[in-house]
Structure 1
Amino acid sequence: HWHGETFEIPAGASHEFYSEACTNQCFIYNGRVVGLQFHVEVTEGLLDAIISNGEDELVPGEYVQIREKLLEGAVHIKRNNELMFSILDELDKL
Protein backbone atom coordinates (compact mmCIF):
# COMPACT_ATOMS: atom_id res chain seq x y z
CA HIS A 1 0.00 0.00 0.00
CA TRP A 2 2.75 2.49 0.79
CA HIS A 3 3.67 4.56 -2.23
CA GLY A 4 6.98 3.01 -3.18
CA GLU A 5 6.05 3.31 -6.84
CA THR A 6 4.87 6.38 -8.69
CA PHE A 7 3.77 7.40 -12.17
CA GLU A 8 4.66 9.84 -14.92
CA ILE A 9 2.30 12.69 -15.65
CA PRO A 10 0.75 12.18 -19.11
CA ALA A 11 1.76 14.61 -21.84
CA GLY A 12 -0.67 17.51 -21.88
CA ALA A 13 -1.82 17.01 -18.28
CA SER A 14 -1.58 19.75 -15.68
CA HIS A 15 0.61 18.95 -12.69
CA GLU A 16 -1.44 19.94 -9.63
CA PHE A 17 0.10 18.62 -6.37
CA TYR A 18 3.58 17.52 -5.40
CA SER A 19 5.84 17.24 -2.40
CA GLU A 20 9.51 16.66 -1.76
CA ALA A 21 8.76 13.00 -1.09
CA CYS A 22 6.48 12.46 -4.10
CA THR A 23 6.86 14.59 -7.20
CA ASN A 24 3.65 13.46 -8.88
CA GLN A 25 0.79 13.50 -6.39
CA CYS A 26 -1.97 14.81 -8.63
CA PHE A 27 -2.65 15.65 -12.24
CA ILE A 28 -5.66 16.66 -14.29
CA TYR A 29 -5.88 15.58 -17.90
CA ASN A 30 -8.21 17.10 -20.45
CA GLY A 31 -10.41 18.50 -17.67
CA ARG A 32 -11.96 15.05 -17.22
CA VAL A 33 -9.33 12.77 -15.70
CA VAL A 34 -7.87 13.17 -12.22
CA GLY A 35 -4.89 11.09 -11.12
CA LEU A 36 -4.07 11.03 -7.41
CA GLN A 37 -1.33 9.44 -5.36
CA PHE A 38 -2.72 10.18 -1.94
CA HIS A 39 -5.78 9.01 -0.09
CA VAL A 40 -8.65 11.46 0.22
CA GLU A 41 -11.05 8.56 0.95
CA VAL A 42 -9.49 7.58 4.27
CA THR A 43 -11.66 7.44 7.39
CA GLU A 44 -10.36 6.89 10.91
CA GLY A 45 -11.33 3.21 10.71
CA LEU A 46 -9.66 2.80 7.33
CA LEU A 47 -6.51 4.55 8.58
CA ASP A 48 -6.27 2.07 11.45
CA ALA A 49 -6.79 -0.85 9.04
CA ILE A 50 -4.19 0.42 6.55
CA ILE A 51 -1.61 0.88 9.29
CA SER A 52 -2.32 -2.50 10.88
CA ASN A 53 -2.20 -4.28 7.53
CA GLY A 54 1.11 -2.73 6.45
CA GLU A 55 2.79 -1.99 9.75
CA ASP A 56 5.60 -4.46 9.08
CA GLU A 57 6.64 -2.24 6.15
CA LEU A 58 7.00 0.89 8.32
CA VAL A 59 10.77 0.71 8.57
CA PRO A 60 12.74 3.86 9.37
CA GLY A 61 13.49 5.94 6.29
CA GLU A 62 13.61 9.51 5.06
CA TYR A 63 9.94 9.61 4.04
CA VAL A 64 8.54 6.72 6.09
CA GLN A 65 6.32 7.78 8.95
CA ILE A 66 6.00 5.61 12.02
CA ARG A 67 2.58 4.49 13.27
CA GLU A 68 2.27 7.37 15.75
CA LYS A 69 3.01 10.01 13.10
CA LEU A 70 0.50 8.44 10.71
CA LEU A 71 -2.16 8.49 13.42
CA GLU A 72 -1.38 12.16 14.14
CA GLY A 73 -2.42 12.81 10.55
CA ALA A 74 -5.98 11.81 11.42
CA VAL A 75 -6.66 15.50 12.12
CA HIS A 76 -6.67 15.97 8.32
CA ILE A 77 -9.27 13.29 7.55
CA LYS A 78 -12.28 15.63 7.55
CA ARG A 79 -10.60 18.11 5.18
CA ASN A 80 -9.35 15.33 2.91
CA ASN A 81 -12.85 13.87 2.70
CA GLU A 82 -14.20 17.33 1.84
CA LEU A 83 -11.61 17.55 -0.95
CA MET A 84 -12.67 14.13 -2.23
CA PHE A 85 -16.34 15.12 -2.38
CA SER A 86 -15.44 18.42 -4.04
CA ILE A 87 -13.50 16.55 -6.75
CA LEU A 88 -16.36 14.08 -7.20
CA ASP A 89 -18.93 16.89 -7.40
CA GLU A 90 -16.90 18.59 -10.14
CA LEU A 91 -16.53 15.34 -12.08
CA ASP A 92 -20.27 14.71 -11.74
CA LYS A 93 -20.92 17.99 -13.57
CA LEU A 94 -19.08 16.79 -16.68
Structure 2
Amino acid sequence: MRINVLQHTPNEGPGMIEDWANLHGHLMYTYHPYQFGTLPTAAETDMLVILGGPMSPNDELPWIAQERELIRVLLAKKTPIFGACYGAQQIVKALGYAVTKAPAKEVGWAPVYRQTALIPNLPTQLNVLHWHEEMFTVPDDATLLFSSDRVTNQGLVLNHQVVGLQFHFEPKANNVREMVVNDYPYIEGSVLGQNAADILATPVPDENQTTLFKILDYITAE
Protein backbone atom coordinates (compact mmCIF):
# COMPACT_ATOMS: atom_id res chain seq x y z
CA MET A 1 0.00 0.00 0.00
CA ARG A 2 1.19 3.51 -0.83
CA ILE A 3 0.63 5.93 2.05
CA ASN A 4 0.86 9.57 1.04
CA VAL A 5 1.59 11.90 3.94
CA LEU A 6 0.89 15.64 3.83
CA GLN A 7 3.27 17.37 6.25
CA HIS A 8 2.71 21.07 6.97
CA THR A 9 5.62 22.17 9.12
CA PRO A 10 9.12 20.72 9.64
CA ASN A 11 8.56 19.97 13.33
CA GLU A 12 5.34 17.91 12.99
CA GLY A 13 6.24 14.74 11.16
CA PRO A 14 4.55 11.33 10.95
CA GLY A 15 6.26 9.91 14.03
CA MET A 16 4.65 6.61 15.03
CA ILE A 17 2.59 6.53 11.82
CA GLU A 18 5.85 5.73 10.04
CA ASP A 19 6.47 2.91 12.53
CA TRP A 20 3.03 1.47 11.71
CA ALA A 21 3.70 1.74 7.97
CA ASN A 22 7.06 -0.03 8.32
CA LEU A 23 5.52 -2.74 10.49
CA HIS A 24 3.06 -3.60 7.71
CA GLY A 25 5.52 -3.19 4.85
CA HIS A 26 3.73 -0.16 3.36
CA LEU A 27 5.53 2.48 1.30
CA MET A 28 5.30 6.02 2.67
CA TYR A 29 5.75 9.18 0.58
CA THR A 30 5.88 12.52 2.41
CA TYR A 31 4.80 15.74 0.69
CA HIS A 32 5.42 19.31 1.90
CA PRO A 33 2.76 21.36 0.08
CA TYR A 34 3.32 24.48 2.21
CA GLN A 35 6.87 24.66 0.83
CA PHE A 36 6.81 23.02 -2.59
CA GLY A 37 3.14 23.23 -3.56
CA THR A 38 3.20 19.56 -4.59
CA LEU A 39 0.40 17.11 -3.80
CA PRO A 40 -0.13 13.47 -4.75
CA THR A 41 -2.87 12.45 -7.14
CA ALA A 42 -5.84 10.45 -5.94
CA ALA A 43 -4.89 7.65 -8.34
CA GLU A 44 -1.53 7.12 -6.61
CA THR A 45 -2.97 7.28 -3.07
CA ASP A 46 -3.96 4.09 -1.23
CA MET A 47 -4.11 5.93 2.11
CA LEU A 48 -3.82 9.62 2.96
CA VAL A 49 -2.34 11.01 6.18
CA ILE A 50 -2.83 14.73 6.84
CA LEU A 51 -0.62 16.05 9.63
CA GLY A 52 -0.81 19.17 11.79
CA GLY A 53 0.59 22.61 11.17
CA PRO A 54 0.45 26.26 12.20
CA MET A 55 -1.99 27.24 9.46
CA SER A 56 -5.80 27.15 9.57
CA PRO A 57 -8.11 25.50 7.04
CA ASN A 58 -9.79 28.92 6.97
CA ASP A 59 -6.66 30.50 5.45
CA GLU A 60 -7.15 31.39 1.80
CA LEU A 61 -4.12 29.72 0.27
CA PRO A 62 -4.32 27.82 -3.04
CA TRP A 63 -2.60 24.68 -1.78
CA ILE A 64 -4.98 24.44 1.20
CA ALA A 65 -7.96 24.46 -1.17
CA GLN A 66 -6.20 21.90 -3.41
CA GLU A 67 -5.71 19.61 -0.41
CA ARG A 68 -9.43 19.71 0.30
CA GLU A 69 -10.24 18.82 -3.29
CA LEU A 70 -7.93 15.79 -2.99
CA ILE A 71 -9.68 14.82 0.25
CA ARG A 72 -13.10 15.04 -1.41
CA VAL A 73 -12.02 12.78 -4.27
CA LEU A 74 -10.56 10.23 -1.85
CA LEU A 75 -13.68 10.30 0.32
CA ALA A 76 -15.74 9.45 -2.74
CA LYS A 77 -13.34 6.60 -3.55
CA LYS A 78 -13.56 5.34 0.06
CA THR A 79 -9.80 5.64 0.46
CA PRO A 80 -8.59 5.47 4.10
CA ILE A 81 -7.78 8.92 5.52
CA PHE A 82 -6.21 9.84 8.88
CA GLY A 83 -5.98 13.46 10.00
CA ALA A 84 -4.18 14.94 13.01
CA CYS A 85 -5.03 18.43 14.34
CA TYR A 86 -5.05 20.70 11.25
CA GLY A 87 -5.43 17.51 9.21
CA ALA A 88 -8.67 16.60 10.99
CA GLN A 89 -9.92 20.14 10.47
CA GLN A 90 -9.17 19.89 6.74
CA ILE A 91 -11.25 16.73 6.48
CA VAL A 92 -14.21 18.42 8.14
CA LYS A 93 -13.83 21.55 6.03
CA ALA A 94 -13.72 19.39 2.87
CA LEU A 95 -17.06 17.91 3.95
CA GLY A 96 -18.56 21.40 4.18
CA TYR A 97 -18.53 21.84 7.95
CA ALA A 98 -17.04 24.65 10.02
CA VAL A 99 -13.69 25.00 11.73
CA THR A 100 -13.92 27.58 14.51
CA LYS A 101 -12.07 28.95 17.51
CA ALA A 102 -12.07 26.42 20.35
CA PRO A 103 -13.45 27.45 23.75
CA ALA A 104 -9.93 27.05 25.13
CA LYS A 105 -6.42 26.96 23.72
CA GLU A 106 -4.94 23.59 24.65
CA VAL A 107 -1.17 23.13 24.44
CA GLY A 108 0.42 20.37 26.49
CA TRP A 109 -0.55 17.01 27.92
CA ALA A 110 -4.14 16.39 29.01
CA PRO A 111 -6.62 13.51 28.97
CA VAL A 112 -9.16 12.67 26.31
CA TYR A 113 -12.10 10.35 26.84
CA ARG A 114 -13.47 7.80 24.40
CA GLN A 115 -17.06 8.58 23.36
CA THR A 116 -17.91 5.49 21.28
CA ALA A 117 -16.98 1.83 21.06
CA LEU A 118 -17.20 1.91 17.26
CA ILE A 119 -13.46 1.17 17.03
CA PRO A 120 -12.98 -1.89 19.24
CA ASN A 121 -10.75 -2.08 22.30
CA LEU A 122 -9.71 1.55 22.64
CA PRO A 123 -8.98 2.76 26.19
CA THR A 124 -11.68 4.84 27.84
CA GLN A 125 -9.12 7.56 28.75
CA LEU A 126 -5.69 8.51 27.38
CA ASN A 127 -3.16 11.24 28.14
CA VAL A 128 -2.33 12.92 24.82
CA LEU A 129 -0.46 15.90 23.42
CA HIS A 130 -2.60 18.91 22.48
CA TRP A 131 -1.31 21.75 20.28
CA HIS A 132 -4.30 23.73 19.05
CA GLU A 133 -6.69 26.64 19.52
CA GLU A 134 -9.23 25.81 16.81
CA MET A 135 -11.69 22.93 16.61
CA PHE A 136 -13.82 21.16 14.04
CA THR A 137 -17.55 20.54 13.83
CA VAL A 138 -18.46 16.85 13.80
CA PRO A 139 -20.28 16.13 10.51
CA ASP A 140 -23.83 14.80 10.74
CA ASP A 141 -22.90 11.36 9.39
CA ALA A 142 -19.75 11.03 11.52
CA THR A 143 -19.44 9.76 15.10
CA LEU A 144 -17.75 11.64 17.94
CA LEU A 145 -14.73 9.55 18.95
CA PHE A 146 -12.96 11.51 21.73
CA SER A 147 -13.60 14.55 23.94
CA SER A 148 -11.47 16.47 26.44
CA ASP A 149 -12.49 18.37 29.56
CA ARG A 150 -12.50 21.68 27.68
CA VAL A 151 -13.13 20.84 24.01
CA THR A 152 -15.88 18.37 23.18
CA ASN A 153 -14.94 17.66 19.56
CA GLN A 154 -11.57 15.95 19.86
CA GLY A 155 -12.03 13.07 17.45
CA LEU A 156 -14.36 11.69 14.80
CA VAL A 157 -14.80 8.49 12.84
CA LEU A 158 -16.59 8.31 9.50
CA ASN A 159 -17.69 5.30 7.43
CA HIS A 160 -15.02 2.89 8.74
CA GLN A 161 -12.68 4.84 6.47
CA VAL A 162 -11.78 8.14 8.09
CA VAL A 163 -10.51 9.18 11.52
CA GLY A 164 -9.69 12.75 12.45
CA LEU A 165 -8.15 13.71 15.79
CA GLN A 166 -7.81 17.24 17.13
CA PHE A 167 -4.86 16.14 19.28
CA HIS A 168 -1.67 14.18 18.57
CA PHE A 169 -1.16 10.43 19.06
CA GLU A 170 1.70 10.25 16.55
CA PRO A 171 4.66 12.02 18.26
CA LYS A 172 7.40 9.94 19.83
CA ALA A 173 9.66 11.47 22.50
CA ASN A 174 12.05 12.93 19.92
CA ASN A 175 9.12 14.41 18.02
CA VAL A 176 7.77 16.08 21.16
CA ARG A 177 11.17 17.62 21.82
CA GLU A 178 11.28 18.90 18.24
CA MET A 179 7.83 20.48 18.57
CA VAL A 180 8.66 22.16 21.87
CA VAL A 181 12.10 23.58 21.04
CA ASN A 182 10.88 25.04 17.75
CA ASP A 183 7.35 26.16 18.63
CA TYR A 184 7.63 26.95 22.35
CA PRO A 185 6.19 30.50 22.00
CA TYR A 186 2.87 28.91 21.05
CA ILE A 187 2.58 27.41 24.56
CA GLU A 188 1.80 30.89 25.96
CA GLY A 189 -1.88 31.32 26.78
CA SER A 190 -2.74 27.63 27.00
CA VAL A 191 -5.45 26.78 29.50
CA LEU A 192 -3.49 23.67 30.50
CA GLY A 193 -0.99 25.79 32.45
CA GLN A 194 2.10 23.88 31.36
CA ASN A 195 5.43 25.34 30.30
CA ALA A 196 8.00 23.87 27.93
CA ALA A 197 9.78 22.03 30.73
CA ASP A 198 6.51 20.46 31.92
CA ILE A 199 5.70 19.20 28.43
CA LEU A 200 9.20 17.81 27.91
CA ALA A 201 9.17 16.07 31.31
CA THR A 202 6.01 14.11 30.50
CA PRO A 203 6.77 10.71 28.93
CA VAL A 204 4.82 9.60 25.89
CA PRO A 205 2.44 6.88 27.16
CA ASP A 206 2.98 3.47 25.58
CA GLU A 207 -0.78 3.11 25.06
CA ASN A 208 -0.78 6.05 22.66
CA GLN A 209 1.12 3.98 20.12
CA THR A 210 -1.09 0.96 20.74
CA THR A 211 -4.21 3.06 20.27
CA LEU A 212 -2.91 4.79 17.15
CA PHE A 213 -2.06 1.43 15.59
CA LYS A 214 -5.59 0.12 16.34
CA ILE A 215 -7.09 3.18 14.67
CA LEU A 216 -4.91 2.82 11.58
CA ASP A 217 -5.70 -0.91 11.42
CA TYR A 218 -9.41 -0.08 11.64
CA ILE A 219 -9.52 2.37 8.74
CA THR A 220 -7.40 0.12 6.50
CA ALA A 221 -9.17 -3.17 7.23
CA GLU A 222 -10.50 -4.94 4.16
TM-score when scaled to structure 1? 0.84
Instruction: Give unpaired runs (5+ residues) of structure 2.
Output: 1-53, 55-130
1: distance between equivalents of 2:136 and 2:220? 25
Number of aligned residue pairs: give it: 93
Q: Give, as a single letter, the amino acid of the residue that structure 1 aligns with 2:185.
A: D
2:166 and 2:146 map into 1 onto residues whose CA distance is 9
Give the C-alpha shift of residue 30 in structure 1: 1.7
1:91 matched residue in structure 2: 219
Aligned partners of 1:32 and 1:60: how far apart in 2? 35
Alpha-carbon RMSD across the aligned residues, in angstroms, is: 1.7
What aligned pairs does 1:17-56 form with structure 2 within 5 A after superposition? 17-56=146-185
| Structure (1 or 2) with the larger CA radius of gyration | 2
SS at match of 2:136: coil
User: In proportion to residue count, which structure has more helix?
Assistant: 1
Question: What CA distance in whole angstroms lies between the structure 2 residues aligned with 1:15 and 1:34?
Answer: 10
Asked whether the equivalents of residues 173 and 204 of structure 2 are also in contact (C-alpha less than 8 Å), the reply is no
Greater strand proportion: 2
Moved over 4 A (4+): none
Unaligned residue ranges in structure 1 (runs of 5+):
none
- Kindly tell me: are residues 12 and 71 of structure 1, through their superposed partners in 2, closer, same or farther at Cα, counting changes over 3 Å? same
Deviates more, 1:79-88 or 1:53-62: 53-62
Q: 1:61 to 1:33 in 2, by over 3 A?
A: closer
Q: Do structure 1's residue 79 and structure 2's residue 203 form an aligned pair?
A: no
